[in-house]
Amino acid sequence: MGDFEGEAAENETDATAVGMDAVATDDDFTRPRGWRHDATWTYLIMLIASAVALFVSFILSADTLKLARNPGQKLNCDVNAVMSCSTVAESWQAEIVKFAGLSFPNAFFGIAAESVFVTIAVIGLAKVAVPRWFATCTWLGGFAALAYSYWLTTQSLFVINALCPWCLALMFSTTVQFMALSHATVAVQDLPAGNAGLRKYYRLNFDLMVDAVWIVALIVVILVKDGPMLFA
């Protein structure tokens, strides 16, 4: 009787092991593979985009301080009535955060946020393991930065009726940053857990097509709205 129970337990253990191996094999099959999906590539793209966004934020902050010292001054990126940095910088949308009678330019928040994203990208490049909650919060922060950037862009296009070249550069770099962050979140951090659909999306490289259409769509919207005036 004891031998029979021992054999049954051993068979059950073997069956469990086989089941776990099958799950692991299925998991490995659905996981994105190749150099495009590893930490080095995804976080390198994020680092480059975040560094560009940080650089642009410094330039916008310098222009903001220049206008604060000399109100009404024309900036170097004032090309015409539509392509005008000073028009955008002097709008209320450029300083939506106010506290105790003080206004805080958006560019200052850009410096703070992009410094964090640069740091996170470096951590990812170093392949340092981070908690799942940290990776989730990072993605949410990237989404918030993207939404804020798009809100500012739509305000420039349809409310202020003026565009800032540096703001456009910041919008596009934030877009690429979010694309790379989303890619890394799924392919490297394996979030959300067990989402075979997102894994397949990246494994089959559908993201390349979607990202290309995304960028082209942004360019088309800008050109349709203000194209003739951009080169006037």
Per residue in 174-230, pLDDT (tens digit) is: 999 999 999 999 999 999 887 888 999 999 999 999 999 999 999 999 999 887 777
Domain residue spans in the chain?
Answer: 1-30, 33-230
Contacts of 53 (CB under 8 A, 6+ apart): 110, 114, 117, 170, 173, 174, 177
Query: Nearest 5°: phi and psi at 102?
Result: -110, 145
Contacts of 139 (CB under 8 A, 6+ apart): 181, 182, 185, 191
Give residue-wise pLDDT tens across range 105-140: 889 999 999 999 999 999 999 999 999 999 999 999
Could you tell me if 142 and 211 are in contact, meaning their C-beta atoms sit under 8 angstroms apart?
no
Chain centre to alpha carbon of residue 208? 15
Give residue-wise pLDDT tens across range 44-53: 999 999 999 9
Enter the DSSP assignment of 104: E
**CATH top-level class for 33-230?**
mainly alpha
- Quote the pTM value: 0.84
The CA distance from 157 to 153, in Å, is 6
| Both tokens assigned to 78 | 């004032």
